[in-house]
Chains A and B, each alone.
Chain A
């Protein structure tokens, strides 16, 4: 069975601070995919990034960066110079492909509040 743990339920920072959202996953499979999604107050789920289990390279996209470490089963997400518009619930998710099945298992989410 797969499991995703986001231990931080809520984080509050002041604008321009850096913030890291933690994600720890569990799976016995060697092939898997990790994702981050953003859910702003409007409710939609916005895809941010996908990482496969064979690619441990960190990635940077603008103010966003992701650190994938298989040794600690972690896939952490850092927002640099946070902005009020970054306020949202952020979900980490895991997918273990099985045939044509590719369902996502989500963590419980981290509510990020960026204060002006």
Chain B
């Protein structure tokens, strides 16, 4: 079965640089979520999109932005990176009308 695809899997950036993370949801899933998981922490909700429209916003810094495109893939853009942005970033998707979220393998971002 198809799963959520995230790229890149690992990313190393320097402070003040910009990063773009990509997510390809499971086909026919209508909702995409982004989460941030710091070392030893639980995942924290950042933002979600339902049918390409932003549906909810969590603790996402103003330096971050995201969008969902016509083909349903989503990108998380992170600017002015800080050391504290080092984390595992998950994308998840949900089938239409369902509440379980299926997570991708994550992108491990390291800011040096």
Contact = CB atoms under 8 A, between A and B. Distances in A.
Contacts of A108: 41-42
Given A43-B88, A45-B90, A99-B55, A104 B101 contact: yes
A75 interface: no
A25 interface: no
Nearest to B33: A103
A47 B1 CA distance: 14
Contacts of A50: 99-100
A103 B58 contact: yes
Among A43, A45, A105, the one with the most B-chain Cβ atoms within 10 Å of its Cβ is A45
Interface stretch (B15-23, B43-51, B63-71, B73-81): B43-51
A44 B105 contact: yes
A105 B50 CA distance: 18
Interface of B is mostly: strand
A77 interface: no
A33 B99 CA distance: 8
A88 to B, nearest CB: 14
B103 interface: yes
23 contacts: A33-B99, A35-B100, A43-B105, A44-B103, A44-B104, A45-B106, A46-B103, A47-B100, A47-B102, A47-B103, A50-B99, A50-B100, A99-B55, A100-B50, A102-B31, A102-B48, A102-B101, A103-B33, A103-B48, A104-B35, A104-B43, A106-B42, A107-B42
